[in-house]
């Protein structure tokens, strides 16, 4: 984890991230091979994250992964980061079957997708401004909580009242798109109004409730619109326990099921990238010899 590296800055610093990747990729690989008692020669293929994301970090991983594959004379597969998140719940003990609706909520993305099969993804709606995780991180920063903000805001929310403040649920009745920047501004105004009154926990709980409420209602709407009965939630924010609780309750009412990955597979991890690489290898889709990165890459462009 690089959390300590970025914590002093209150957010992720791209250049520090990629320099640290350069330093740690080889020791990390050696440690993993040792722990899992696997020889390099036993590796069948190398999957790496091709995009979307920060160019420096993508380049580091792509050059490393592609080069390693070349050296071992094995196929390489450049994987879509959000497809990794979306399919991570397939690694759980009770994996969902296709088709399903996916709610992808990370630091950079908030999207509702209809997934009909591997590579058959239809965008139903997305955030027109801040991502859900980004809203958590910015609210955390306003409250002086450490990076990454999501887990810290939700921990503080446990001590507050979710109904203390009635924060806006933007675009609730407009299609399946999201907007969280107005909610963030409302929180900022409220924090200033009650400064010194020790109301941070109430604000955290009410903010979380407004955001979760929006995610839940739009997910239910997406299920109704598509007629699907399975919802997969993925990405860092899918680790949020209030979101899980509310989804379990509201989906039961419409006889739909919610699926998610185990906590360690919700936030960024290598297993989800390896899993998608395996699926794409099986589908006969290894990449060529070039090192490819795609910082902006809509998932609907996948085959
Ligand atoms: O998917 P992820 O690990 O990285 C990206 O691809 O962005 O997601 C990170 C995001 C951060 O914004 C973090 O604050 C948020 O997920 N997050 C949470 C929780 N755990 C992580 N947000 C709310 N509640 C959580 N428990
Ligand atoms: Zn991620």
Task: Flag whether pLDDT at 292 surpasses 90.
Answer: no
Cα of 22 vs its chain's centroid, Å: 23
Which tens digits make up the pLDDT trace of 62-81?
A: 999 999 999 999 999 999 99
In this prediction the pTM is: 0.93
Ligand that lies nearest to the alpha carbon of residue 158, given by its number in the listed order: 1
Which tens digits make up the pLDDT trace of 2-43?
A: 889 998 887 889 999 999 999 999 999 999 999 999 999 999
Q: Which atom of ligand 1 is nearest to the CA of 268?
A: 3
Please give the pLDDT value at position 9. Answer: 86
Task: Flag whether pLDDT at 1 surpasses 90.
Answer: no
**Percent of the chain residues past pLDDT 70, beyond the cut:** 100
Which tens digits make up the pLDDT trace of 135-157?
A: 999 999 999 998 889 999 999 99
Does residue 166 contact residue 117 with C-beta atoms inside 8 Å? no
Q: How many other CB atoms are there within 10 angstroms of residue 42's CB atom? A: 9
Cα of 104 vs its chain's centroid, Å: 6
- In DSSP terms, 79 is beta-bridged to 49
Q: Which residues contact 122 (CB under 8 A, 6 or more apart)?
A: 113, 114, 115, 116, 300
Q: How far does the centroid of ligand 1 lie from the alpha carbon of residue 243, in Å?
A: 12
Q: How many other CB atoms are there within 10 angstroms of residue 24's CB atom? A: 13
């Amino acid at each position: 984890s690089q959390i300590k590296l970025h914590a002093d800055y209150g957010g992720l610093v791209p250049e520090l991230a990629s320099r640290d990747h350069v330093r740690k990729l080889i020791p990390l690989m050696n440690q993993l091979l040792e722990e899992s008692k696997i020889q390099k020669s036993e590796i069948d293929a190398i999957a790496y994250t091709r995009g979307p994301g920060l160019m420096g970090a993508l380049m580091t991983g792509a050059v490393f992964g592609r080069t390693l594959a070349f050296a071992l004379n094995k196929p390489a597969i450049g994987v879509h980061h959000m497809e990794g998140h979306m399919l991570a719940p397939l690694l759980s003990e009770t994996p969902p079957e296709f088709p399903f609706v996916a709610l992808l909520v990370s630091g950079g993305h908030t999207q509702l997708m209809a997934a009909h099969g591997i590579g058959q993804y239809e965008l139903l709606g997305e955030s027109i401004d801040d991502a859900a995780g980004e809203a958590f991180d910015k609210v955390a920063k306003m409250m002086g909580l450490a990076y990454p903000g999501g887990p810290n805001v939700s921990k503080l929310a446990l001590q507050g009242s979710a109904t203390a403040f009635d924060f806006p649920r933007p675009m609730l009745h407009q299609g399946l798109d999201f907007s969280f920047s107005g909610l963030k501004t409302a929180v900022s105004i409220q924090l200033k109004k009650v400064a010194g009154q020790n109301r941070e926990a109430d604000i955290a709980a009410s903010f979380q409730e407004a955001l979760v409420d929006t995610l839940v209602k739009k997910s239910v709407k997406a299920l109704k619109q598509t007629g699907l009965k399975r919802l997969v939630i993925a990405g860092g924010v899918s680790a949020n326990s209030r979101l899980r609780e509310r989804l379990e309750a509201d989906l039961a009412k419409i006889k739909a099921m919610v699926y998610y990955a185990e906590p360690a597979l919700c936030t960024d991890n290598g297993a989800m990238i390896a899993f998608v690489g395996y699926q794409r290898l099986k589908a006969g889709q290894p990449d060529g010899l070039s090192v490819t990165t795609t910082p902006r890459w809509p998932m609907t462009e996948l085959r």
